[in-house]
Chain A
Amino acid sequence: MKILIVDDSSTMRRIIINTLSRIGYTDVVEGDNGKSGLERLGQGGVEMIITDWNMPEMDGLEFVKTVRVQNPVIPILMVTTNAAKEDIVEALQAGVNNYVVKPFTPETLKEKIESLLG
């Protein structure tokens, strides 16, 4: 399964990639903002998206909304520092399937991914 990770922090992308590899997902493509995420998505093969919210050029919320116009079914997990209730609701309304607040444990990421794929 190919997973697209969109986050402007290279450190955070590495942390997510490490966590994914530990739970058996090694086919990963990366984007550092919404725009590059859309480009990667356009190249095809992506079956799941993990995206940050706060990014330059195109933020995660705009990215999710754009993806949902083109693809209403691909599972999207938002991983962000935004912890306010209204933020979570706004993300869900935009089309996010599940939501993880940073910092997270590998167990939580695993649980969320499995719930999206299950």
Chain B
Amino acid sequence: MDQSEIDTLLAGGTKSPKKPKISAPVKDPVPVPPVLAAEPHAEPKADGSGHVISELDTVTAVTERESNKVMDQLDQIGQLVNRQQLLITEIMAHEGAQAPDIQKVVHEVMSAGKEIQDKVFEAMDLMQFQDITRQKLERILHHLRQIHDYIVDLLGTGLKSESQRPSISHTIAQTGTTPDENKAHADAVIEAFKSKKKG
């Protein structure tokens, strides 16, 4: 997310700054960067409600897109390391590279390349935080929508929030950020279920 996107989000998420003293209606008062305009739910509802909901939707969409950019970069690093390994293998086949000292250095370079590759994979795995954070935000959005729809019902005006939303987890209290922290618990439940089914 670049600075202009952050600024736009911050501007939309809080009260508008002082309005310019312009008497004539402004056709396009806030230029929306194309990058945000393209996101789903980026536009607030016509009745002005659901603004926070649409802003949070934008945040989740933007973070997913940016996460994919990070994944692209990691993919490229991985490919470059692969290419480097291939080139080193070719070098090792040359007659001049058979000296023990050279072979030792080449092996060290290969080993370092393998370590980089492992770190790239680890970094990719850590990108799971994006999906987990998104789902936590979805849960907050779900509650905001419920409040919003309740008020709409109460006042008998405005539009209800859209219905096509992802289902949400019943609780986020148990959703951690450390890989496999729920594995033992899940495995125990699966085992108990299977034993019960057999019995």
Contacts and interface: CB of A to CB of B under 8 A. Distances in A.
Interface of A: 7-12, 14-15, 18-19, 22, 53-57, 59, 61, 80-89, 92, 98-106, 108
13 contacts: A11-B67, A15-B71, A59-B166, A81-B169, A82-B175, A83-B175, A88-B186, A92-B193, A101-B182, A102-B132, A103-B128, A106-B125, A108-B183
Given A83-B182, A83-B186, A101-B183, A11 B68 contact: yes
Interface of B: 64, 67-68, 71, 121, 124-132, 134-135, 138, 164-172, 174-180, 182-183, 185-186, 189-190, 193
A14 B189 contact: no
A84 B186 contact: no
Contacts of B125: 15, 18-19, 103, 105-106
Contacts of B167: 53-56, 59, 61
A104 B127 contact: no
A82 B124 contact: no
Contacts of B166: 8, 54-56, 59
Contacts of B165: 56
Contacts of A82: 169-170, 175
Contacts of A102: 128, 131-132, 175
Contacts of B170: 82, 84, 86-87
A11 B72 CA distance: 10
Contacts of B67: 11
A94 B128 CA distance: 25
B128 A54 contact: no
Contacts of B193: 88-89, 92
A84 B127 contact: no
Contact of B190 (A22, A59, A61, A98): A98
Contact of A81 (B126, B132, B183): B132
